[in-house]
Amino acid sequence: MSVDIQRTARSQVTFRAIAAHAILITYTLIALFPVFVIVINSFKSRNAIFREPLSLPNAESFSLKGYETVLKQGDFVLYFQNSLIVTVASLTMVLLFGAMAAFALSEYRFRGNLLTGLYLAIGIMIPIRLGTVAILEMMVASGLVNTLTALILVYTAQGLPLAVFILSEFMQGISDDLKNAGRIDGLTEYTIFGVLVLPLIRPALATVAVFTMIPIWNDLWFPLILAPAEETKTITLGAQVFIGQFVTDWNAVLASLSLAIIPVLVLYLIFSRQLIKGITAGAVK
Amino acid sequence: MIVGRTFRAARFTPFNKLEKLMQKPISKPPIRWHIPVFLAPAFLIYTAVMVIPLLGTIQLSLFSDIDGEQVFVGLANFKTLLGDQHWSQQFWNALLNNTWFFVIHMLVQNPIGILLAALLSSNKLRMKAFYRTSIFIPTILSFVIVGFAWKLILSPIWGVAPSMLDVIGLKSLFTPWLGKEEYALTTLALISVWQFVGIPMMLIYAAMLSIPDEILEAAECDGVTGISQFWKIKLPLILPSIGIISILTFVGNFNAFDLIYSVQGALAGPNFGTDVLGTFMFRTFFGFQLQLGDPNMGSAIASIMFIIILIGVSIYLFGIQTRLRRYQF
Amino acid sequence: MKHKSFKAILVASTVFGSAGLSYAQDATLTIESWRNDDLSIWQDKIIPAFEAKHPNIKLKFTPSAPAEYNAVLNSKLEAGSAGDLITCRPFDASLSLFEANHLAPLTDLEGMNNFSDVAKSAWITDDGSTPFCVPMASVIHGFIYNVEAFEDAGVEVPETEAEFFAALDAIKEKGNYIPLAMGTNDQWEAATMGYNNVGPNYWKGEEGRNALIKGEQKLTDEPWIAPFRQLAKWKDYLGDGFEAQTYPDSQNLFTLGRAAVYPAGSWEISGFNTNAQFKMGAFNPPVPNEGDTCYISDHTDIGIGMNANTKHPEAAKAFLNWVGSEEFASLYANSLPGFFPLSKTAVKMEDPLAQEFISWREKCEPTIRSTYQILSRGTPNLENETWNASVSVIKGAETPEEAGKRLQDGLASWYDPQK
């Protein structure tokens, strides 16, 4: 009888695992199918894209024309580089300054703490795009138009509210004992923040990084307005050149945007590893 | 105890501060320079690049362009927006659409996200990283690509969706969803769910991972396993994270713009069936085609959006979140 | 830590700052445009031709995303970072830029003398005294058809409305081609290639358009309802699922050889020439009754003006004068068949389809799109409302009379002559 129970239990476990895999595989297919459509079509000739959007490229329909156009028109290596600089620099500033502010808000009691917290959180609720004209005026006045700095500043400001909001909540959870032990050992507040606290909130930093990075990488609006020069174009803006008023070069659009997925995917992989590692490490302690 | 942090993740700092204030003995050194030093960079950049420009814009909503001069008109723009038949009709249409957009996300995106996270967090599952990454990929795509891919798939002409339905014998179910007033908004909301489901999945997954093993082991000793373990143990513990996700979804949805703009254009067709506050505001503020931009009315719409979001966030902070905390302790 | 990061910002800003634009000794003029499509034509043909004549002036053509052009341009002008030369949308969009002192007046520009009053009408103050953009090109509406499809169904090019629908019926009957390639997803085609394409035949071109502006005719009058009646009939000839068919879908349907007739603007010519592998022809909008005068929409579409705050007004004027020259007209018209020059001197065009379109200027009366001048100044915006109404009429969600009434009510709500 006990064997029977064990067997039932085991078969239940197997059944559950199969069901879990079935659901996950189904959803993975749903998630990847459109991406698959994009990537296969980026390797096809224009007529083949619209004749047979679903079929794989074959000898007749295979075409690298899109990729060729992308490489020929404009300096896509430079655009990639610009996008990376802007994304990484903004991310660094959002994470560092956001964590500093969150630390101040969650660690110290001082007058205006509540107000400062609310003030910083309000930015979550209103799209920065509305401030475009004033931002552009400011960048013109400071000579930052057509520089990557302008973009970095805007994205930093845009990312900070959510970063402070999420990070300060995570900071709450860090035990006071640890920090107080540090203070007794004579560590400065800066060291406590940099050496003790920052490593502990790694998963939260990774979460914020993922949230912050995606809209920056994909943003079209601010590059278009603040830095449309050839030297400062980002990849998303660069790809726009193929979307014309009447004629859209879908080969080139698909090729350039397929290429643009790669760097941001790599960044995501890095951060999500950090996230999972940080949480699992924390849970063990 | 580091694991505690995600449990309390949904607590909003300033209020916890008050709590601490009451608990701790007061020992206040004269000037603690490190506080302004910690706050300054974030505060300065945020104020200079975001708050001041936005204040300038919001202020525009109280003015009106009369013969090329900006004249202070008080709340007249808001009166026009809510009182004038032409404006108010568009406004309520956009608000209603926006609400439906949000409802779909809450009913579809978040449950799917939780389900996927729950499946992924079960211990013995293989290929976790693969699933996790694949399901997150749509989130990192640009709206241009998402719009193109789904238009191609749902297109009645190039036939991806129709021919797939044909294979399973359901071709009669196909209609040009994006072009029909009654389906377009729901279709777009589902596309948006498809794109962003990775975010709740990731947050819930993180929350579930940080549930201490001891708790789960204890539950298993008591015979609470599988689905009932999820309902009785895990779900209550991840409620704060669900709260955060709900409020992020709310804020995100009421600021939504890009997807609808890239799929249906600034006029959010068919017949404004997919118009949300974001597209309505953009069209009004920056103008479209022959319609010239009207920054004053645009800011009025933006201000109302801001108020709606503020109300939503306040309900969450003061209503829901405090209850969540009571539940925990 | 804080110190370090601030230093990093400083370093970063100097590095990136110096990587910005470096201005040459000679004048470098930047051209703002929404015409992404023309990037290579400017780079390969137009700019070299101009620079050969003016070696001390360099040109940079920097188009931005067409859909965002107005918003982006306005923001840039407002903040003072816009280019030296501004490509002008017709009518109010540019007029408002002039009134806000963003565009310089071009009253004394020599090159302006090469244009007729009609050509200048899209970029001039309401009193007709001050032009602010040099006209570059107009586009003509009509229908492009697949010659093989017509042969297949055994139909001739239609001249009257009855013949037009008979031809569509024959094609539909035969079943090898979708009779009409148009969708309503993007909305504007229904108004631009539908309503304003066939409409001038009913409202008699300029006559009706001016009467509407003066308030002598209403949008509920027969000449303005009749085009909707025709659109309502189009529904049966559109492809399955036309409700979700986008503009690029329609282009592809036609160039892949799956549709017979494409309600067109002449701007399609170059794209269609590249992509279609069959013989194409074009016909002007069929007239209601045999022997009627035909009217075409020959719409002033692109102009170019000077940023009032440019640092190089002399160089910019030199360029604008050149835009008024015969050399530019011929270069532009032949590089971009379908964008027809507006200057007085006749330009020789090579492309057969473009020749067909421009030949209609001889036999038909030209007019511009009815909603563009003055009538789209208020809220609700008549042009945008016309998009919406044309779509509803095609879908059958609204009758032609209801659509006309809605447009009239909207217009009358803010436009005094119509009250």
pLDDT for B224 equals 83
State how far the Cα of C284 lies from the Cα of C286, in Å rounded to an integer: 6
Residue A281 pLDDT > 70: no
**C26 backbone φψ class: left, alpha, beta (φ>0; ψ -120 to 50):** beta
Q: Do A138 and B49 touch (CB under 8 A)?
A: yes
List CB contacts of B98: < 8 A, sequence separation 6 or more: B253, B254, B256, B276, B277, B278
Residue B75 structure tokens: 């709340």
Give chain C's residues under pLDDT 70: 1-25
Q: What value does the mean pLDDT take over residues A138-162?
A: 93
- Per-residue pLDDT, averaged over A155-161, amounts to 95
- Chain A nearest CA to C265, separation (Å): 10
- Return the minimum-mean-pLDDT range out of A119-123, A158-162, B100-104: A119-123
Residue B20 has pLDDT above 80, yes or no: no
- From chain B, the residues in CB contact with C377 under 8 A are 292
Residue A275: half-sphere exposure toward Cβ, Cα within 13 Å: 26
CA-based nearest residue in chain A for residue B252: A125
Residues of C in contact with A152 (CB under 8 A): 12, 16
CB contact (8 A) between residue A97 and residue B57: no
Residues C359, C360, C365, C368, CA torsion sign: negative
Q: How far is CA A162 from CA A264, B239, C373, in A?
A: 20, 20, 46
End-to-end CA distance of chain B: 16
**Rg (Cα) of chain B, in Å, rounded?**
24
User: Where on the phi/psi map is residue B223: left (φ > 0), alpha (ψ -120 to 50), or beta?
Assistant: left
Are the beta carbons of C62 and C47 closer than 8 angstroms? no
Cα torsion C158, C161, C163, C165: sign = positive
Q: Where are the domains of chain C?
A: 28-138+299-354, 139-298+366-418
Query: Given A47, A148, A242, which is nearest C16 (Cβ)?
Result: A148
Is there a contact between B188 and B274 (Cβ–Cβ < 8 Å)?
yes
Tally C-beta pairs within 8 A across A and C. Answer: 110
* Residue C315 neighbours by CB distance under 10 Å: 22
Q: What chain C residue is nearest to A222 in terms of C-alpha separation?
A: C72
Are C124 and C132 in contact, with CB atoms under 8 Å apart?
yes
pLDDT range class, residue B28, cuts 50, 70, 90: low
Tokens 């910690």 identify what position? B38
Domain C139-298+366-418 in the same topology as domain C28-138+299-354? yes
Residue in B with minimal Cα distance to C187 = B269
Residue tagged 């440019």 (tokens) = C310
A232 touches chain C (CB under 8 A): yes
Average of per-residue pLDDT across B194-222: 87
Query: Inter-chain contact A28–B135, Cβ cutoff 8 Å?
Result: yes
- Which residues in B have their CB inside 8 Å of a CB on C? 37, 40-41, 68, 86-87, 151, 154-158, 175-181, 264-267, 269-272, 286-294
Please report how the helices B181-196 and B198-209 are oriented relative to each other, as an axis angle in degrees rounded to 10: 40
From the DSSP assignment, how many helices (H) and strands (E) are in chain A? 14, 0
Alpha helices (runs of H) in C194-278, residue ranges in sequence order: 196-198, 200-203, 206-214, 222-234, 247-255, 268-275
User: Could you identify the residue written with the tokens 């900070």?
Assistant: A160
Tell whether B39 is within 8 A of chain A (Cβ).
yes
Q: Does C163 lie at the interface with A, CB-CB under 8 angstroms?
A: no
Confidence at residue B27, expressed as pLDDT on a 0 to 100 scale: 55
A88: closest CA of chain C, how far (Å): 12
Chain segment B135-152, per-residue pLDDT in tens: 999 998 888 889 888 988
* C383 CA: distance to closest CA in chain B (Å): 7
**DSSP-assigned beta bridge partners for residue C180:** C238, C261
B307 at the A interface (CB within 8 A)?
Answer: no
Determine which helix (DSSP H) or strand (DSSP E) holds C30, and give its type and residue range: strand C27-33
* CB-based contact A229 C17, cutoff 8 Å: no
Burial class of residue B265 in the structure, from the number of CB atoms within 10 Å of its CB (0-12 exposed, 13-18 middle, 19+ buried):
buried
Which of the pair, A98 or B258, is modelled with greater confidence?
A98
Residue A219 has pLDDT above 70, yes or no: yes
**What is the pLDDT at residue C4?**
43
How close, in Å, is residue B183 to chain C by CA atoms? 11
Beta carbons of C244 and B264 less than 8 Å apart: no
Two tokens, residue C118 = 């009609």
Token digits of residue A27: 């959803």
B326: pLDDT strictly greater than 50: no
Mean pLDDT of A198-227: 88
Which residues numbered 237-276 in B keep a CB inside 8 Å of some CB on A? 244, 251, 255, 257
The number of beta carbons lying within 10 Å of the beta carbon of residue C96 is 17
Whether the per-residue pLDDT at B123 is higher than 80: the answer is no
pLDDT value of residue A280:
67
Distance between A57 CA and the closest CA of chain B, angstroms: 16
More confident residue, C218 or B172: C218
Q: Which fold has domain C28-138+299-354?
A: D-Maltodextrin-Binding Protein; domain 2 (3.40.190)
State the pLDDT confidence band at B327, using cuts at 50, 70 and 90: very low
DSSP C104: -
Could you give the CA distance from residue C285 to residue C290 in angstroms, rounded to a whole number? 13
A94 neighbors B13 (Cβ within 8 angstroms): no
Q: How far apart are CA A79 and CA A87, in angstroms?
A: 12
Is the pLDDT reported for residue B30 higher than 70? no
A245: DSSP letter: S
**Interchain CB distance below 8 Å, A246 and C76:** no
Cβ–Cβ gap A147/C72 under 8 Å: no
Query: Among the listed ranges A81-85, A275-279, B276-280, C213-217, which one has the minimum average pLDDT value?
Result: A275-279
C36 vs A241: CB contact, 8 Å cut-off? yes
Class of domain C139-298+366-418: alpha beta
Most confident range (mean pLDDT) of A114-128, B58-72, C92-106 is C92-106
Q: What is the pLDDT of residue A6?
A: 64
In the prediction, which pLDDT does A272 show?
Answer: 85
> In the 8-state DSSP scheme, what is residue B26?
P
Q: Which chains touch A (3 or more CB pairs under 8 A)?
A: B, C
Taking a C-beta distance cutoff of 8 angstroms, is the pair C157, C143 a contact? no
Residues of A in contact with B280 (CB under 8 A): none
3-state secondary structure of C125: coil
What token pair was written down for C102?
């963003």
- Tell me how crowded residue A27 is: count the other CB atoms within 10 A of its CB: 20
**Alpha-carbon Rg for chain C in angstroms:** 23
Cα B167–Cα B170–Cα B171 angle in degrees, nearest 5: 80
For residue B2, what pLDDT is reported? 33
What count of other Cβ atoms lies within 10 Å of the Cβ of residue B172?
8
Q: How far is C350 from chain B (nearest CA, A)?
A: 32
DSSP track, B241-280 = HHHHHHHHHHHHHHT--HHHHHHHTTTTTTTTTT--HHHH
Residue C368 CB contacts under 8 Å (≥ 6 apart), including other chains = C90, C121, C122, C209, C297, C298, C299, C300
* DSSP code for B105: I
Give residue-wise pLDDT tens across range B33-42. Answer: 889 999 999 9
Q: Quickly count: other Cβ atoms within 10 Å of residue C42's Cβ.
A: 21
The predicted model gives A70-78 an average pLDDT of: 83
Is C18:C36 a contact under the CB 8 Å cutoff? no
Fold of A70-280: MetI-like fold (1.10.3720)
| Domains of chain B and any CATH numbers | 1-29 (no CATH), 80-323 (1.10.3720.10)
Say whether residue B107 is in contact with chain A using an 8 A CB cutoff.
no
What is the predicted pLDDT for the residue at C379? 86
Q: What pLDDT score was predicted for residue B211?
A: 83
pLDDT of residue A7: 65
Shortest distance, CA A126 to any CA of chain C (angstroms): 19
Contacts of C75 in chain A (CB under 8 A): 132-133, 136, 225
Query: What pLDDT score was predicted for residue B95?
Result: 96
Residue, of A203 and A81, whose pLDDT is higher: A81
Q: Count CB neighbours of B297 within 10 A.
A: 22
The alpha carbon of residue C229 is apart from the nearest alpha carbon of chain B, in Å, by 19
As a whole number of Å, the end-to-end CA separation of chain A is 41
The phi, psi pair for C264, rounded to 5°, reads: -130, 165
Cβ-based contacts of C66 with chain A (< 8 Å): 243-245
